[in-house]
A and B are shown apart, each in its own frame.
Chain A
Amino acid sequence: MTESAIFSGGPQGMPIPTPDPHFAYVLRHADDNLVAAQRYGEWISYGPELEEDIALGNIGLDHLGQARSLLAHAASLEGRGRTENDLAMMRDERDFTNLLLIEQPNGDFAHTMARALFFDAYQVGLWQALSDSTDATLAGIAAKALKEARYHLRHSSGWLVRLGDGTEESHERSQRAVDALWPYTSEPFQPDAVDLAAAEAGLGPDPSSLESEWRSRVSAVLGEATLDVPTDPYRRHGGRSGFHSEHLGHLLTELQWVARRYPGLKW
């Protein structure tokens, strides 16, 4: 792939306010998990079978827990009185820095599993690296999340293999999902200023160092699933700097409306 074949998803040259990089770094990983949790939550009561419905709910809950730990940590790093809840419920779309990949709609079950495979394979490498973070709290959260992510990856890999190497219909749908989501799979590995500052400070890895392992993990699963690894060089970026696809706004509306309509509401 040539550099010129890489397109960015967002408008260029707009000044973005730069918060403390440590805060921003923890927050972006919190956002990934919060958005992931919301997407899995959408499956509740729609799962293809009861056990799967429960599994998707559980995986969503893991991501929600990871998001909450990270948001609470980010809030304390920021030290401006915003809470975990404020960060989740009172920021707007433009302030979210999650990956475009994870905000993409669920689609059919194959689509959700393909997205999960790409995301889980990324997270296993990420959490592993973050377990050695110089930020002890982040390292602790990552060490636990790593073990959870391995369960998630086993789940998504297993499904994609069964679907890809299943019926003609399930094969075709899986390949369609893999092709549709492929453009979002280079963003996780593109470092920006926040990532580089974090790598410099020993907070986390340079994301580009995670790509080759991701590729071999994902290729192995796709191979076993008899699915083709896409060769389309088209790439979408922008989530990490707050330039999102049209889907995030809708997701946040559903996530945030109660907290905004009834500020301070308690059970």
Chain B
Amino acid sequence: MVSRLERARQALTSVVDPEIPALSIEDMGILRATTETATGVKVTITPTYSGCPAMGQIESDIRSALATADVGEVEIETVYSPAWTTDWMNEEARRKLEASGIAPPTSNPRCPRCLATEPRTVSEFGSTACKALLVCSACGEPFHYFKEI
């Protein structure tokens, strides 16, 4: 018999960041904890960038994922402390990011296409709150870089 908590954790592995679908909210470090309550489960999440518009979508995706997992009442808590940092993205997350064409956060970003370093910065503000727009100085390809915070 799989426990309620295990069913919840299993179901949550399918919840992805809607802006970077290659990554789950667990890879991202958005999912902070899943605990059992008297009547169900409590999921604790934390926002990445303050202005991340995906948080509302993530909450609703969590509810959908848990709806069919028979876990009872679902409570979602958003915590701000400690503040999320790109340091919480695991190695797997960084690998998947680069494979999907987004340079992972580092002080020394490289082109996800040809791996050349020292790209040129076009803008520190890209298509989403978390990304900057860079251009590779070697192959000339423009690419997104997940900003370090």
Closest chain A residue to B48, Cβ basis: A144
| Per-position binary interface string of chain B over residues 66-83, scored 1 when its CB falls under 8 Å from any chain A CB and 0 otherwise | 000000000000111111
Residues of A in contact (CB 8 Å), total 31
Q: Point out the residue from B49, B53, B81, B125 that lies within 8 Å of A136, measured CB to CB.
A: B81
* Bound-complex Cα distance A151 to B124 (A): 7
Is B127's CB within 8 Å of the partner chain A?
Answer: yes
Is A155's CB within 8 Å of the partner chain B?
Answer: yes
Closest chain A residue to B131, Cβ basis: A58
Beyond A51-B123, A51-B133, A154-B124, whether A140 also contacts B51 by CB under 8 A is no
User: By the criterion CB–CB under 8 Å, are B127 and A144 in contact?
Assistant: no
Which chain B residues border A58 with CB–CB below 8 Å? 51, 125-126, 128-129
Is A147's CB within 8 Å of the partner chain B?
Answer: yes
Is B42's CB within 8 Å of the partner chain A?
Answer: no
CB within 8 Å of A: which B58-99 residues? 78-84
| Per-position binary interface string of chain B over residues 22-46, scored 1 when its CB falls under 8 Å from any chain A CB and 0 otherwise | 0000000000000000000000000
B54 CB → nearest A CB, Å = 11
CB within 8 Å of A: which B124-141 residues? 124-129, 133
User: By the criterion CB–CB under 8 Å, are B81 and A61 in contact?
Assistant: no
User: By the criterion CB–CB under 8 Å, are B49 and A140 in contact?
Assistant: no
Q: How many A-B residue pairs have CB under 8 A?
A: 79
A189 CB → nearest B CB, Å = 24
User: By the criterion CB–CB under 8 Å, are B83 and A148 in contact?
Assistant: no
Residues of B in contact (CB 8 Å), total 24
Is A69's CB within 8 Å of the partner chain B?
Answer: yes
| Main SS at interface, chain A | helix
Which chain A residues border B53 with CB–CB below 8 Å? 61
Is B47's CB within 8 Å of the partner chain A?
Answer: yes
State the A residues within 8 Å of B (CB).
51-52, 54-55, 57-66, 68-69, 72-73, 136-137, 139-141, 143-145, 147-148, 151, 154-155
* Contacts A58-B125, A144-B84 supplied; 7 other A-B pairs, CB < 8 Å: A51-B123, A61-B129, A143-B83, A144-B83, A147-B149, A148-B50, A148-B149
Q: Which 9 A-B pairs have the closest CB atoms?
A: A140-B81, A65-B50, A65-B51, A61-B51, A140-B80, A55-B125, A143-B83, A58-B125, A144-B83
